Amino acid sequence: MNPRSDLRKKLAGVWPLLDERTRRLLAANEARALGRSGISAVSRACGLSRKAISKGIKEIEAGTAPPPGRVRQPGGGRRKITAHDPRLTGAMERMIDPETRGDPESPLRWTCKSTRTLAAQLSRQRHPISHTKVAQLLHDLGYSLQGNRKTEEGEDHPDRDAQFRYINTTVKRALAKGAPVVSVDTKKKELVGNYANGGEQWLPEKTPVKVKGHDFPGPDVPRAYPYGIYDLGQNTGFVNLGMDHDTGAFAVASIRGWWRHEGRRLYPEAKDLLITADAGGSNGSRLRLWKLELQKLADQTALSISVCHFPPGTSKWNKIEHRLFSFISSNWRGEPLRNYETIVHLISKTTTAMGLKVTCRLDRRKYPIGRKVTDEEMKRVNLERHKFHGDWNYTIRPISPKLI
């Protein structure tokens, strides 16, 4: 668990609903709770300046408040920078992400440039702005600002950004044709039982839900493996809740379940399916079992299945993380996942103001680990690698269709 990432998600959930003062006070309260280095941590998470957070702490400690009906003290505040420079937002978006600007269906919304670099470039384009204001605008626009992140080899893959652009282009083309495009991944496995679950829920005062005092159970304690399929075109989620192991066979069985219960009804004329997936785990780019099972699915559905993998270490940019998993986590926060039925119920009840609907099914089948795929079996996979990074991008076509 990454405390900084959890804090960013926590603040992002309510940030657009707050005014200037409540943002400052919320950030200040979080900083006080974190203690040493709390101001810096909260500043990085929400984009407010350290000065503003420090001011909020002083307000909390002094118990001061503006007159009723006001956010600021009389005479306080200044016009937003975008009011002085209405073209600033557009200039920054073009600079950060020219491939996806204005495209709500893009699977990515990211930037790897520092706020100081962006501020300097904007200033050269006659949009004078400080790096702290850049951070605030980025948060308001829904961007995540990331620093350099190293892979196991010690550095980012040189084609990382090019792969992002390739995924964006491929997704847009598929959606334009009306083809199904799904983002897939396994949410982290969950303990099933009366164990503490992160977050808080509203309950009568001094009546917290009582759970076990530790969450380090042995191997005999059941686990849940939620494998998610997010349909970019329909804004719907399908979760296959596994009880056994998270394997390549389980991953493809989950996609097969989505196609049977939802996909073929929504896309009756479909001949192609595009999948965006992480580079590792049960749907990893190098996993033989994943490709072998996809061949079976292609034969069963008569679909040509294309897969675009995110570069190693960048799975958080996959749309499913922000459009599905984050809302599931919010929906069951503070609720012990006592049994599988509870988990299915909580996932199925996940909705958003943007119209997200989620279906969840319990998968009781066994998916043994250790399955070895032979070279002979791999030769029977009708796999066509794309010209750009065929290890990350490929299409598996049906050989002898047997429709399910």
The single-letter code of the amino acid at 301 is T
pLDDT digits (tens, 9 = 90+) for 12-55: 778 877 888 888 899 999 999 888 888 988 988 888 888 989 99
| Burial (Cβ within 10 Å: 0-12, 13-18, ≥19) of residue 78 | exposed
The whole model's pTM is what? 0.61
Residue 212, token pair as written in the block = 């076990």
pLDDT at 71: 53
CB contact at 8 A, 94 and 113 = no
- 141-148's contacts with Cβ under 8 Å and 24+ in sequence apart are 141/89, 141/92, 141/93, 142/109, 143/96, 143/97, 143/109, 143/110, 143/111, 144/8, 144/109, 144/110, 144/111, 144/316, 145/111, 145/114, 145/115, 146/110, 146/111, 146/112, 147/114, 148/112
- Report in angstroms the alpha-carbon separations of 132 from 16, 120, 139: 18, 12, 11
Q: Is 78 helix (H, G, I), strand (E, B) or coil?
A: coil
CB contact at 8 A, 180 and 238 = no
The secondary structure element, H or E, covering residue 144 is strand 144-145
- Report in angstroms the alpha-carbon separations of 299 from 56, 394, 402: 61, 16, 6
CB contact at 8 A, 317 and 110 = yes
CB contact at 8 A, 134 and 119 = yes
Report the helix count and the strand count for the chain, using DSSP H and E: 16, 11
pLDDT digits (tens, 9 = 90+) for 263-317: 999 999 999 999 999 999 999 999 999 999 999 999 999 999 999 999 987 776 6
Q: Is 224 helix (H, G, I), strand (E, B) or coil?
A: strand
pLDDT over 90, % of the chain? 39
Residue given tokens 């995540």 in the structure block = 144
* Domain ranges, ordered by start, for the chain: 1-67, 87-148, 161-203+219-396
pLDDT digits (tens, 9 = 90+) for 98-147: 444 334 345 555 455 567 777 888 888 888 888 888 887 877 766 654 44
